Structure 1
C-alpha cells in the first residue's frame, strides 16, 4: 500500500529508484523504476538487489516473521554499503506495548538505530485504509464494527504516509528523526461510519463491539493470533484515549500541504464502499 505509492511518486517526480519484488511478472512499467527480484525471507537474494543503493525504504508484511524479515534487510543493507534506512514503523512502537505488532516494530527500530547506518523512523497512526477491510460488512449488512468505542483517532491516509516517506528519502535533513504521522482531526469509528454513510447515501450502523465480540469476529476472518491480539490491544488503547489522540503537523511540515481528511478519503473510495 505505502510502498506502491512511494514507487509511483518517485517515478512521477523523475527520481531514479530500484524496487524489490518477489513477482517480477506482476510489476507495473514505471519510468525511472528498475525492478529487481528479491525476498526478505531469502537473505541470499538480497546482496544483488541492494548492490549500489545508498538509501533503503524498509517495509514488509506484518506477521510472526516480521522481525526476522526486517533483520535480514538491515544486515544486507549494511553489507551492501547502504548509508540510510527509512523505516515504516507504527504509532505506539515501544518496549511496553500490549500489541505484539508495536513490540516488533520497536525491536526493529532498536536494531536499526544500533546498526551504524543513518536512520529515519516513520510512526503512522491508524490508517484510513483500515476501513476498507470492512467493505463487505458495509455492502452486505450496512454495518461497521470496532471495539474502539467512541475513542478519538487521528486517522491518516496511506497516500500521505507515502508522501512523507518520499520527502525523507529524497531530501536532506531527516536523518536521526522519528516522525509521528497523523491526520489533522481526531474522529471516532462511529463518526467515520457516519461520514461513509453520508458519502455513499446509504444508512450505516456502527456496532460498538466488546473485546470478546471483536476477538470472535477476527477469528472468523482468519487473523493469526498475534495480529488478532494486536488489533484488540490497539482498540483498547483507542477506547481509553490519552496518547492515542495525538495529532502532529508532520504531513504539512514535510510536504507543504495538509493531510487528507476522512471525508476526502470516503469520497475517493466511495465506489468500493458502495460495492
Structure 2
C-alpha cells in the first residue's frame, strides 16, 4: 500500500514527494500528463484527472494514505469533494488535506471559502484526516523578486496587520511528518487541524526593510492599493484569479495572518528544526538571482 500525492508537480507537492521518497516510503505521484516533471526513481507516476471519476478510482486503488492539494481553479471545490468521496469509497482512512489559514474568516474570498467547504465535509463525515492551514507562502514573493530589484519597491499589498509568512519547505516538512505518522499507524488516527505559520509576523514595511538589508539599498513598500494589484495581475492572468487575489489581500490587510500562541513551538517540535525566517528566504532568493 502506498502514499498518493495529489498536487505532486507543484511547489509544495514536489517537495513532499521528494521527502517521502527520501524517507523510503512507497510513493505515487498523481499527474495529468506523464513525464511532466522528473521524480525520484522510487516514485510511481499515476496519470489521472481530478474531474475524471474512472481515472481517479484507478488512482486511489491500492492507496493507504492520501495527500490532497488542489490548485486554485474555478472548480477547485468540485475536484476536492469528488476526490474525497472516492477516497472514502476506496476505504482510505489516512488523509492529509492542505487548506488555508483563516478559511472560516475570509468568507468572501472564493478559494478560502472553497477550502473551508472541503474542511466541513471532512469534519462532517468524520474522515480521519489532518487539515493543514498554512499562512501566506514566502515563495509567493519569488514572483515579484524582479520587480523588487528593478524598481526598488516591495509590491505585495499585505498591509500592517501582520502576516506570519511560512516557507514552503516547512509546509512540506509538516505534511510529510503527518503523512508518515498516519501511514505508519496501526489504525486510523484522530482528526487534527494544524495552523502553519512562520516565526515572525511581517508587514509591508518590514518586508521591504528585509529586502533593503539583503540588497544593500533602500526598498520601499508599494502601499495598500488592492485595485492596482488586481489590475497588474489581470494584465497577464485570468481576471477571476486576479479578483480572488485582490479579495485575499483585502482580508490580509484587515485580519492579518497570525496564529495562536505556542503554534511556532509546536510546529518546530513536530518537524525537528527551527522554522525558516523571511530573512533567510530573502537572502537565499537574492543569492540565487
Summarize the Cα distance change of 1:29–1:154 in structure 2 as closer, same or farther, 3 Å threshold: closer
**What's the CA shift for 1:96?**
6.3
1:264 alignment partner in structure 2: 280
Counterparts of 1:207 and 1:223 in 2: how far apart (Å)?
A: 23
Task: Report the aligned-residue RMSD.
Answer: 2.1
Q: CA contact under 8 A between 2:197 and 2:258: conserved in structure 1?
A: no
* Aligned counterpart for 2:208 among listed residues 176, 182, 193: 193
2:288 is the counterpart of 1:255? no
Instruction: Decide which of 246, 255, 259 is 1:232's aligned counterpart.
Output: 246
* 1:173-215 alpha-carbon deviations (Å, 9 max, x no partner): 8641110000111111221122123223354332103232223
SS for the counterpart of 1:192 is helix
Give yes or no for the alignment of 1:97 onto 2:115: no
For the residue of structure 1 that corresponds to 2:133, the secondary structure is strand
Instruction: Give me the whole-angstrom Cα distance separating, in 2, the residues matched to 1:67 and 1:41.
Output: 11
Q: Distance in 2 between matches of 1:244 and 1:61?
A: 20
Contact 1:90–1:124 (8 Å) recurs in 2: yes
Q: How many residues matched? A: 271
Distance 1:95-1:76 versus aligned 2 partners, 3 A rule: farther
* SS of alignment partner, residue 86 of structure 1: strand
CA distance, structure 2, for counterparts of residue 116 and residue 10 of structure 1: 26
The structure 1 residue matched to 2:170, chosen from 156, 160, 174, is 160
Give 1:8-47 correspondences, 5 Å limit: 8-47=18-57
Could you state the TM-score of these two structures normalised by the residue count of structure 2?
A: 0.86
222, 225, 236: which one aligns with 1:221: 236
Distance 1:132 1:223 in 2: 20
Partner of 1:210: 225
Q: Partners of 1:9 and 1:41 in 2: how far apart?
A: 27
Please report how far the alpha carbon of residue 8 of structure 1 lies from its aligned counterpart in structure 2 after TM superposition. 0.5
Does 2:155 correspond to 1:141?
no
SS at match of 2:63: coil
